[in-house]
């Protein structure tokens, strides 16, 4: 414990070392908790953030206590104590939409309006997960979304929220800075959510003419994002511990005190990940380490078989702090997949494919050489889910969530990524020769290279 406390002190004095759950991070950090600064590519220092509810009790402290990480800028600040800005769950047994909005900062008024509409339509389980955060920040230049242990807040990319082209055009078009991390590898790690044999949704471009969207169109992708980021918050400080928190602690100090009680610590001690190779590859794909010559030679088949022999649901699950003892992304990915299946009937598919080259590369040029549909339902993985669900949801009746998961199925090897969809879906997208001539559909860039998790998730 002394080692972790010293690490925290250093991290808070020079906050470039404070990154806990953002879906990415640099290599600095200490202990089993990931206290690195979020490498989220988010220059939020230039935007003014305002409370969504200016008359709320904590409106005057939100900007200071929930400040975003400023990559490449000044990140030295005194983290707020829980007595200054407590977790929502410390004050509310049942979190409401109004409770969340009173802890929300936005860069544009429309973001608060759309966020309120989405919250009102989302499952109650999802709303209650906000009990684990101090605040929500939605800013036009936040990309990717992340959770930051330094503040106990989540930071959301408004690309998930816009409905009109006018709203869209206020959002930064800067790409996710992590997108080239895995370019030296000889395979692609692909994933998508499907429903009825077709993509459950596709991301809308942030430039060009475009079309307005309906609220219904953003609910599923927004839910996947929130299930993931809020899983991090409730992982570090489980809901059952809220009543025991010291008001003089910061959120990071509380997480250090409770580190052995975190959901990820419980999962790792009971059903640990074991593949050193997948952990190595996660450092390349998601944390920016240069690939070794041996790693560059790995084939999709070799990586797929290695992945199949372990018990993670996604390659991103292997992101960890330097000591490789706790895997917070493992917990979040498993939880996200299960909750999307339960509430939306949406299944997640993962695959390892070859890496096609050329000026014109289409979806079916990515040949599946190992893949699985609905991996959270795999009989080897279900016990892991049964363990974490009661801890994250803070109730014991979790059998319905497990019952809603179908058994996992293998995808068809030596067939294109899009050809692995249902025949009816293929009929909507393919040319007369049966080939899918569209580019690889983009669905969720959070789980591409470098997903921002760490002290940022």
Residue 436: the pLDDT is 65
Instruction: Tell me the average pLDDT across 306-321.
Output: 95
3-state secondary structure of 82: coil
Would you say residue 332 has pLDDT above 80?
Answer: yes
> For 280-295, how does the pLDDT look when each residue is reduced to its tens digit (9 = 90+)?
999 999 888 999 999 9
- Of 133 and 424, more confident: 133
Closest CA to 228 of 101, 319, 298, 304: 319
Write out the two tokens for 20.
């806990």
Would you say residue 403 has pLDDT above 70?
Answer: yes
3-state secondary structure of 195: strand
pLDDT exceeding 70 applies to what percent of the chain? 81
pLDDT exceeding 90 applies to what percent of the chain? 71
> For 100-129, how does the pLDDT look when each residue is reduced to its tens digit (9 = 90+)?
999 999 999 999 999 999 999 999 999 999
Residue 47: the pLDDT is 79
Distance from C-alpha of 282 to C-alpha of 268, rounded to nearest angstrom? 17
Indicate the pLDDT class of residue 69, thresholds 50, 70 and 90.
Answer: confident
Instruction: Tell me the average pLDDT across 301-326.
Output: 94
Can you spell out the DSSP letters for 227-246?
A: HHHHHHHHHHS-GGGGGG--
- Of 76 and 419, more confident: 419
Instruction: Tell me the average pLDDT across 72-93.
Output: 90
> For 14-23, how does the pLDDT look when each residue is reduced to its tens digit (9 = 90+)?
333 233 354 5
Residue 435: the pLDDT is 66
> For 416-425, how does the pLDDT look when each residue is reduced to its tens digit (9 = 90+)?
999 999 876 6
Model confidence, pTM:
0.89
Distance from C-alpha of 164 to C-alpha of 211, rounded to nearest angstrom? 7
The C-alpha angle 109, 209, 195, rounded to 5 degrees, equals 80
Distance from C-alpha of 391 to C-alpha of 379, rounded to nearest angstrom? 20
Indicate the pLDDT class of residue 228, thresholds 50, 70 and 90.
Answer: very high
Regarding beta strands 104-106 and 135-138, do their DSSP bridges make them parallel or antiparallel, or are they unpaired?
A: parallel
Residue 173: the pLDDT is 83
> For 149-204, how does the pLDDT look when each residue is reduced to its tens digit (9 = 90+)?
999 999 999 999 999 999 999 998 876 655 567 788 999 999 999 999 999 998 78
In total, the chain counts a number of residues equal to 457
CA distances from 392 to 128, 239, 331, 381 (A): 10, 7, 10, 17
Q: What letters, b where the CB count within 10 A reaches 16 and e where it falls short, cover 59-79? A: beebeebbbbbbbeeebeeeb
Distance from C-alpha of 263 to C-alpha of 66, rounded to nearest angstrom? 24
Half-sphere exposure of 147 toward its Cβ, with a 13 Å CA cutoff?
30
């Amino acid at each position: 414990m002394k080692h972790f406390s010293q690490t925290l002190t250093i991290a808070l004095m020079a906050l470039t070392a404070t990154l806990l759950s953002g879906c990415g991070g640099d290599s600095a950090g200490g202990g089993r908790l990931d206290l690195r600064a979020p490498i989220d590519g988010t220059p939020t220092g230039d935007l003014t953030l305002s409370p969504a509810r200016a008359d709320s009790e904590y409106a005057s402290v939100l900007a200071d206590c929930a400040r975003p990480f400023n990559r490449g800028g000044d990140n030295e600040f005194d983290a707020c104590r829980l007595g200054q800005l407590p977790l929502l769950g410390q004050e509310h047994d049942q979190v409401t939409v109004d409770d969340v909005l009173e802890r929300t900062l936005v860069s544009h008024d429309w973001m608060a309006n759309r966020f309120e509409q989405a919250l009102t339509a989302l499952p109650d389980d999802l709303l209650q997960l906000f009990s684990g955060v101090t605040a929500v920040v939605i800013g036009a230049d936040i990309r990717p979304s992340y959770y930051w242990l330094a503040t106990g807040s989540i930071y959301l990319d408004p690309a998930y929220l816009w409905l009109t082209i006018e709203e869209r055009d206020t959002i930064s078009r800067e790409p996710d800075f992590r997108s080239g991390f895995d370019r030296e590898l000889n395979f692609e790690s692909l994933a998508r959510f499907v429903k009825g044999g077709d993509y459950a949704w596709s991301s809308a471009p942030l430039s060009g003419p475009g079309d307005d969207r309906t609220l219904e169109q953003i609910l599923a992708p927004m839910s996947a994002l929130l299930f993931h980021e809020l899983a991090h918050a409730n992982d570090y400080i489980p809901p059952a511990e809220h009543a025991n928190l010291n008001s003089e602690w910061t959120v990071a100090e509380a997480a250090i005190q409770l580190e052995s009680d975190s959901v990820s610590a419980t999962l790792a001690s009971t059903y640990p990940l074991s593949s050193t190779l997948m952990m190595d590859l996660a450092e390349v794909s998601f944390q920016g380490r240069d690939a070794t010559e041996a790693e560059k030679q790995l084939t999709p088949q070799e990586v797929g078989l290695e992945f199949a022999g372990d018990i993670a649901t996604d390659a991103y699950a292997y992101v960890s702090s330097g000591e490789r003892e706790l895997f917070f992304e493992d917990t979040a990915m498993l939880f996200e997949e299960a909750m999307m299946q339960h509430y939306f009937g949406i299944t997640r598919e993962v695959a390892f494919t070859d890496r096609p080259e050329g000026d014109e590369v289409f979806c079916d040029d990515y040949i599946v050489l190992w893949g699985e549909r609905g991996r959270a339902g795999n009989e080897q993985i279900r016990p892991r889910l049964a363990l974490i669900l009661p801890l994250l949801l803070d109730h014991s009746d979790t059998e319905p969530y497990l019952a809603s998961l179908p058994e996992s199925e293998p995808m068809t090897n030596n067939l294109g990524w899009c050809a692995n969809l249902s025949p009816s879906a293929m009929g909507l997208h393919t040319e007369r020769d049966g080939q899918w001539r569209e580019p690889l559909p983009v669905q969720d860039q959070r789980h591409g290279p470098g997903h921002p998790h760490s002290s940022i998730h």
